[in-house]
A = this chain, B = another copy of it.
Amino acid sequence: MSFAEIHFLSDSLKQGVSAAVFMPEKGPFGSDAEPPYRTVYLLPGYSGDYPSIYTMLGIRKQAELKGLVVVIPNGQNAFYIDHPERNANYSKFIGEELIARTRDMFRISDKREDTYIAGISMGGYGALLNGLRYHDVFSKVAAFSPATNPFTLMEYPERGGFGAGEFANMFSSKDEYENSEWNIVKGYKEADKADIPELFIGCGDKDIAVDSQVKEFRQTLEDAGVPYKYFGTTGNHDFDTWEKMLDPAFSFLAGIPEGSRNRLAIPDMEI
């Protein structure tokens, strides 16, 4: 596996940023992937960062076995939205700048059919949001326990550390939020179905942080006749649960059957 940590100056955020990049390697676990590589941009959740993601989850294994490049930026708890008046354009950063910079640096594909976005929790919200905003860039979205409604996330303080002051700073008032471009429930309801990327949503059955949000979002999709792949599993809003979602989500992105390429094992031999 080739594994890189990159650092560059972001114009959208006016600060130096860092990210992890995993590239498949022709080797014993032999993905056949060749450049230009298919790529998924995987967004961390609230309180997350890229070192946590790749040390807590088997991301490298997925990249290697599924033959995908995986790029993991930092979200800095900013919900992947734009605040141009503050030089904090996280949506633009994800959908335009990070894409352009990584394509400038690495031999990754610039085709929509080869470019995907994924995310965990707040990152799942960010993936659904920017997957739709930049639907001409991304062909697939994989959302792990997405916080599809930040207002709901905030309302119940025991759910995450995201509270009223942070919501206000991020989204203003409830009304403004609901009428804004950051309201993805509304966004997906009103979108032209032809614009919506292929969707994968995973969630644990005891997820105290986002369960009601995911139910609401799924209902919205169904009412609008938007197809999506759902992976329900046991578990709460934690890494053990997201580990279980890895193969289903990455198989979805790679376009292969679940479980068909998920073993690092070298073949058994008679001794």
Measured between alpha carbons, how far is A76 from B10 in the docked complex, in Å? 12
Q: What residues of chain B lie closer than 8 Å to A21, measured between beta carbons?
A: 4
Q: What residues of chain B lie closer than 8 Å to A235, measured between beta carbons?
A: 265
Contact B15 A7 (CB under 8 A): no
Q: What residues of chain B lie closer than 8 Å to A225, measured between beta carbons?
A: none
Contact A271 B9 (CB under 8 A): no
Residue in chain B with minimal CB distance to A27: B9
Tell yes or no: A191 within 8 A of B by CB.
Answer: no
Residue in chain B with minimal CB distance to A240: B265
Which of A21, A22, A208 has the most B CB atoms < 10 Å from its CB? Answer: A208
Q: How many residues of A are in contact with the other chain, CB < 8 A? A: 76
A-B contact sample (14 more), CB < 8 A, given A16-B49, A86-B165, A239-B264: A9-B27, A15-B46, A15-B49, A16-B48, A16-B51, A23-B105, A77-B87, A85-B164, A85-B169, A87-B166, A106-B106, A207-B271, A236-B267, A236-B268
29 A-B pairs with CB atoms under 8 Å apart are: A3-B6, A4-B6, A4-B7, A4-B21, A4-B105, A9-B52, A13-B77, A14-B161, A15-B48, A16-B74, A18-B51, A23-B105, A55-B59, A55-B60, A56-B58, A56-B61, A85-B164, A85-B165, A87-B162, A87-B165, A105-B106, A208-B268, A208-B271, A211-B271, A212-B271, A236-B267, A237-B266, A239-B265, A240-B265
